[in-house]
Amino acid sequence: MSEPTTLAARLARFAISTPQENLQCPSREIVHLSMIDFIAVARAGADEPVARIAREMVLAEEGRADSSLVGSDVRVPARAAALANGAAGHALDYDDTHFAYVGHPSTVIMPVVLALAQKTGATPSALYDAALIGLEGASRVGAWLGRTHYQIGFHSTASAGSFGAAMAASRLLGLSEAQTIHALSLVASRASGLKSQFGTMGKPYHAGMAASNGIEVALLAQAGFISRPSALDGEQGFAETHAGECNNAAFEGMGEVFIFGDVQHKFHACCHGLHACLEALGRIIAEGGAVSGQIEMMSVSTNSRFMRVCNIASPTTGLEAKFSFRLVMALAVLGYDTAALDTYTDAICSAPPVVALRDMVVVSIDDTLAETESVVTVTDKSGVQKTARYDLSDPLPLAEKQARIAAKSASLISDGAAQQLWDNVMAEQTLPIL
Query: Do both 85 and 201 map to the same domain?
Result: yes
The reply to whether 23 and 110 lie within a common domain is: yes
**Do 169 and 316 have their domain in common?**
no
Backbone angles phi, psi at 25, to 5 degrees: -135, 170
Tell whether 168 is covered by a domain.
yes
* Structural domain includes residue 383: yes
**What pLDDT is recorded for position 4?**
58
Residues 257 and 278 in one domain: no
What are the Cα distances from residue 245, in Å, to 148, 306, 320? 7, 21, 32
Q: Mind listing the pLDDT tens digit of every residue in the chain (434 residues)? A: 345 589 999 999 999 999 999 999 999 999 999 999 999 999 999 999 999 999 999 999 999 999 999 999 999 999 999 999 999 999 998 999 999 999 999 999 999 999 999 999 999 999 999 999 999 999 999 999 999 999 899 999 999 999 999 999 999 999 999 999 999 999 999 999 999 998 789 999 999 999 999 999 999 999 999 999 999 999 999 999 999 999 999 999 999 999 999 999 999 999 889 999 999 999 999 999 999 999 999 999 999 988 878 899 999 998 899 999 999 999 999 999 999 999 999 999 999 999 999 999 999 999 999 989 999 999 999 999 999 999 999 989 999 999 999 999 999 999 999 999 999 999 999 999 99
Paired sense of beta strands 361-365 and 295-302, if any: parallel
**Judgement on whether residues 57 and 151 belong to the same structural domain of the protein:** yes
CB 213 within 8 A of CB 187: yes
134 and 255 both lie in a single domain:
yes
Instruction: Note the residue count of the chain.
Output: 434
CATH of residue 203: 1.10.4100.10
Does 159 map to a domain? yes
Q: What's the pLDDT at 185? A: 98
Answer yes or no: do 258 and 151 share one domain.
yes
**Residues 6 or more apart in contact with residue 265 via CB below 8 angstroms:** 33, 34, 37, 96, 401, 404, 405, 408
Number of structural domains (the chain) is: 2
Buried-exposed string 296-321: b where 16+ CB fall within 10 A, e elsewhere: eebbbbbbebbeeebbbeebeebbbb
Beta bridge partners of 373: 391
d(CA 92, CA 427): 28
d(CA 157, CA 432): 23
Q: Let me know if residue 91 belongs to a domain.
A: yes
Q: Residue 293 burial by CB count (10 A; 0-12/13-18/19+): exposed, middle or buried?
A: exposed
Distances, alpha carbon 21 to alpha carbons 24, 126, 135, 415, in Å: 5, 12, 17, 34
Q: Which helix (H) or strand (E) holds 373?
A: strand 373-380
* pLDDT value for 1: 34
Residues 73 and 208 in one domain: yes
The neighbour count for residue 415, using CB atoms within 10 Å, is 12
The reported pTM is 0.92
Q: Are 386 and 284 in contact (CB under 8 A)?
A: yes
Closest CA to 161 of 114, 225, 215: 215
Question: Which amino acid type is present at position 153?
Answer: G
Cβ proximity of 154 and 194 under 8 Å: yes
**Residue 217 within a domain:** yes
The C-alpha atoms of residue 361 and residue 333 are separated, in whole angstroms, by 11
Q: Which residue range is the domain that position 16 belongs to?
A: 7-264+398-427
Residue 1 lies in a domain: no
Same domain, residue pair 213 and 362: no
In a domain, 433, yes or no: no
**Does a structural domain hold residue 320?**
yes
Are residue 85 and residue 197 in the same domain, yes or no? yes
Q: Are residues 412 and 385 in the same domain?
A: no
- Cα distances (angstroms) measured from residue 289 to each of 27, 124, 210, 402: 37, 48, 45, 28
Shared domain for 158 and 306, answered yes or no, is: no
What is the rounded CA–CA span in Å between residue 77 and residue 65? 6
Q: What is the CATH number of the domain that holds 309?
A: 3.30.1330.120
Q: Whole-angstrom Cα distance, residue 290 to residue 299?
A: 12
Helices (H), 255-302: 275-286
Pairing of strands 385-391, 361-365: unpaired
